[in-house]
Structure 1
Amino acid sequence: MTKLVLLHKADSIYDDEPDVVYDFPRAYLKAVQEAVGDWIVYYEPVKAGPRGYFAVAKIERVIPKPSVEGRYLAMIEPGSFLPFDQEVPRLIDGRPLEQALTEPDGSPKKGGAVQLAVRRLPEGDFARIVRLGLPEDLERQEATRYDPDNSEVAEDMALFERPVLERLTRRPYRDVAFRRKVREAYGYRCAMSGLQLRNGGGRPEVQAAHIRPVEHNGSDSVRNGLALSGTLHWMFDRGLISVADDNATILVSRNKVPGDVVDRLLRPNGKIWMPEDKKSWPHPANLAWHRENIFGQVVAEGPVPWE
């Protein structure tokens, strides 16, 4: 197995969806086959935008692209995709983070390997990029973000120093990374109420909801997330609310949710609040999955929060 860098552009002509599939030509087939079962890093090329290295994922398998000669699809292992907490720049102090892109004097190479859409990535380069994008102490950072004096929590979390690969697979770590990216994408505003609430210490009250749950092969992509208040998160997970096939209109299970509750909790225009960056908008396939598998079908457990 080997690790790779995969170039991805948000407006690519190829059928790429970073948390699901990567579309590539035959020229890269051998390299991608070598990476099956291993991790890759996504990279946005200079002409496509400023993100640099922006996420990790694991390749599950490679298949020929149906009905397209000479193209293949790298299928991403469900649950492996994770966006970086901080996107990693292409250069640090003028030096590339990849050995293959570095001249002997440390300066960046030009042309050649720099332009490859698929690049092999040594273990050391992979670890360095991931450490920059997903800090080891991310859980401690989040725990003390709005409570700097919470030294007891900080000390407990500091006791556990975890290797890069263990960090990428630990659910508690991934939950923190997902929550931070989703809430940031929505400006700490509830997508369905439109409210931006903070407690006395400045902590945002909004939560991060998976549209397609992790246990049902949902990813930790921001496009599989909605920022929701606690009550609306509860309602969304239990199928009392969803999003229509226009990917904007809020659906309500009217026979289970009183009209006055709808009036109090949801935006007056009945549309969800979208992130400023279109790359973070909920993916239509994830919203469709929620409509088809959760909305109106999950029995609410316990007392409803508005009673």
Structure 2
Amino acid sequence: MVKLVLLHKADSIYEDEPDVVYDFPRSYLKAVEAAVGDWIVYYEPVKAGPRGYFAVAKIDRVIPKPGVEGRFLAMIAPGSFLPFDREVPRLMQGRPMEAALTEPDGSPKKGGAVQLAVRRLPEADFARIVNRGLPQELEQIEATRYDPQPAELAEGTQTFERPVLERLTRRPYRDVAFRRKVREAYGHRCAMSGLMLRNGGGRPEVQAAHIRPVESQGSDSVRNGLALSGTLHWMFDRGLVSVADDCETILVSHNKVPGDVVGRLLAPDGKLVLPEDPRNAPNPENLRWHRENVFGRGMPDGPTPWGGAG
């Protein structure tokens, strides 16, 4: 197995969905097949946008692309995709992050490997890029973001050093990374109410909801997330609200949710507040999955956030 850099351009002729599938031509087949079961780093080239290295994922298998001669699909292992907390530029202090793109004097190479859409990535380069994009101390950064000394972090506590791959598969770390990216994408505003609420310390009250849960093979992509208030997150997970196939109209299970509750909780126009960057908009397939598998499935037992039993 080998690690790779995979070039991704949103407006390309190749139909990539980075957390699901990578579309590529036959010329890269041998290289991608060698990476099955290992990790890759996604890279956006300079001419396509400013992101640079922006996510990691693991390749599960490679299959021919149905109906397209000479094209193949690298299927991404469910639950492996994770966007970087901070995107990593191709150059740091004028020196490329990849050794293969570096001249002996440290300057960037031109042409050749630089033009490849699929590049081998040595372990050291992989670790260096991931450590910049997903810092070791991310959980501590988040815990102290609005409270310099939260109760759960005793004075003098040091971040436990975890290997890169352990970090990438550790659920608490992934939850923090997902929450930060989703809330940032929506400007810390609830996608269904349109409200941006903060507590007395400035901490945003909005939560990050998975549209398709991780346990149902949902990913940690921002496109599988919605920023929601605590009550709407509860309602969304229990199928009381969803989003229509136009990807913006909020659906409500009216026989289970009182009308006055709808009026208090949802934006007046009944539309989803979408991220400013369209690349972060909810994936229509994830929304379809929620409508078909969660929405309207039944009222949960017990008390509801608006009072009374379900």
Following superposition, the deviation at residue 299 of structure 1 comes to: 3.8
Distance 1:194 1:155 in 2: 38
- Quick check: 2:242–2:295 contact (8 Å CA) kept in 1? yes
Letter in 1 for 2:28: Y
> How far does the alpha carbon of each residue in 1:236-263 deviate from its partner, in whole angstroms, 9 at most, with x for none?
0000000001000000000000000000
For 1:84-95, what aligned pairs fall within 5 Å after superposition? Answer: 84-95=84-95
Counterpart secondary structure, 1:153? coil
Q: Report what 2:199 is aligned to.
A: 199
Superposed, 1:67-78 pairs within 5 Å as 67-78=67-78
> Per the alignment, do residues 154 and 210 of structure 1 end up closer, same or farther by CA in structure 2, a change over 3 Å counting?
farther
Deviations 1:166-186 (A, max 9, x none): 000000000000000000000
In structure 2, what is the Cα distance between the partners aligned to 1:151 and 1:265? Answer: 32
Tell me the equivalent position of 2:61.
61
Q: CA deviation at 1:152?
A: 5.2
Partner residue, 1:264: 264
8 Å contact kept, 1:140–1:154? no
Is residue 42–residue 53 contact of structure 1 (8 Å, CA) maintained in 2? yes
Distance 1:286 1:156 in 2: 42
Segments of 5+ residues of structure 1 without an aligned counterpart are: none
* Counterpart in the other structure of 1:305: 305
Residue in 2 that maps onto 1:176 = 176
Report if aligned partners of 2:240, 2:299 keep a CA contact under 8 Å in 1: no
AA aligned to 2:32 is V
Counterparts of 2:121 and 2:171 in 1: how far apart (Å)? Answer: 25
Flag structure 2 segments of 5+ consecutive residues without an equivalent. none
Amino acid at match of 1:254: H
Identity of aligned residues (%): 81
Match of 1:46 in 2: 46
In structure 2, C-alpha distance between the alignment counterparts of 1:261 and 1:152, rounded to whole Å: 35
Structure 1 position 288 matched with structure 2 position 292: no
Q: Please name the residue that 2:18 is paired with.
A: 18
SS at match of 1:85: strand
Equivalent AA in structure 2 for residue 7 of structure 1: L
Residue 9 of structure 1: CA displacement? 0.7
Q: 1:156 to 1:238 in 2, by over 3 A?
A: farther
CA contact (8 A) 2:140 2:159 kept: no
What amino acid is the match of 2:256?
A: K
Change (3 A) 1:272 1:154: farther
Question: Cα deviation per residue 1:81-139 (whole Å; 9 max; x = unaligned)?
Answer: 00000000110000000010000000000011001000000000000000000000000
Alpha-carbon distance in 1 for matches of 2:201, 2:7: 41
Query: What is the identity, as a one-letter code, of the residue corresponding to 1:256?
Result: K
Quote how far apart the aligned CAs of 1:159 are: 4.5
Q: What's the secondary structure of 2:153's corresponding residue?
A: helix
Amino acid at match of 2:223: R
Distance in 1, matches of 2:4 and 2:107, equals 21
Contact 1:6-1:43 within 8 A present in 2 as well: yes
Aligned counterpart, 1:278: 278
Aligned residue in 2 for 1:130: 130
Cα distance in 2 for residues equivalent to 1:16 and 1:212: 19
Letter in 2 for 1:280: N
Q: Which amino acid aligns with 1:295?
A: F
Normalised TM-score (structure 1): 0.98
Aligned match of 2:235 = 235
Mapped partners of 1:241, 1:151: distance in 2: 35
- In terms of mean alpha carbon deviation, does 4-13 or 35-44 score higher? 4-13
SS for the counterpart of 2:142 is: helix
Contact kept? 2:207, 2:227, Cα under 8 Å:
yes
Asked whether the 8 Å contact 2:194–2:273 carries over to 1, the reply is yes
State the secondary structure of the residue aligned to 2:47.
helix
Cα deviation for residue 188 of structure 1 reads: 0.1
Contact 1:140 1:157 in 2 (8 A): no
Flag as ranges the 4+ runs of structure 1 deviating above 4 A: 154-157
Give the counterpart letter for 1:148 in structure 2: P
Contact 1:56-1:81 at 8 Å conserved across structures = yes
Aligned residues: 307
- Correspondence for 1:141: 141
* Conservation of the 8 A alpha-carbon contact between 1:182 and 1:225: yes
Q: Deviations over 1:12-39 (max 9, x none)?
A: 2111000000000010001000000000
SS of the equivalent of 1:158 reads: coil
**Corresponding residue for 2:31?**
31
Q: How far did 1:301 drift?
A: 3.5
